[in-house]
Amino acid sequence: MWQQGVPIETIASMMGQEDIRTTMRYLGINLGDQAQAIRAVAEARCQMQKVAQNVPIVTVPGV
């Protein structure tokens, strides 16, 4: 379920677990998944930086 995009909190709830760390032990989160997540975050950050560079600075007189 987790690999299909179901949030870990939902899976934990379905399994009757209050702590998602318990759920994570059973999910078999592997290094490939973690590396993919890190790449996705890095790409999103890069995109945000590109957008921020193109945003004009606006000054308001008297403020």
Q: Give the HSE-up count for residue 49: Cα atoms under 13 Å, Cβ half-sphere.
A: 6
The rounded distance, in Å, linking the Cα atoms of 56 and 58 is: 6
**Best CA proximity match to 23, nearest among 34, 9, 36:** 9
The model's pLDDT over 21-39, given as tens digits with 9 standing for 90+, comes to 888 887 776 667 778 888 9
Tell me the pLDDT band of 42, cut-offs 50, 70 and 90.
Answer: very high
Domain map (residue ranges) of the chain:
2-53
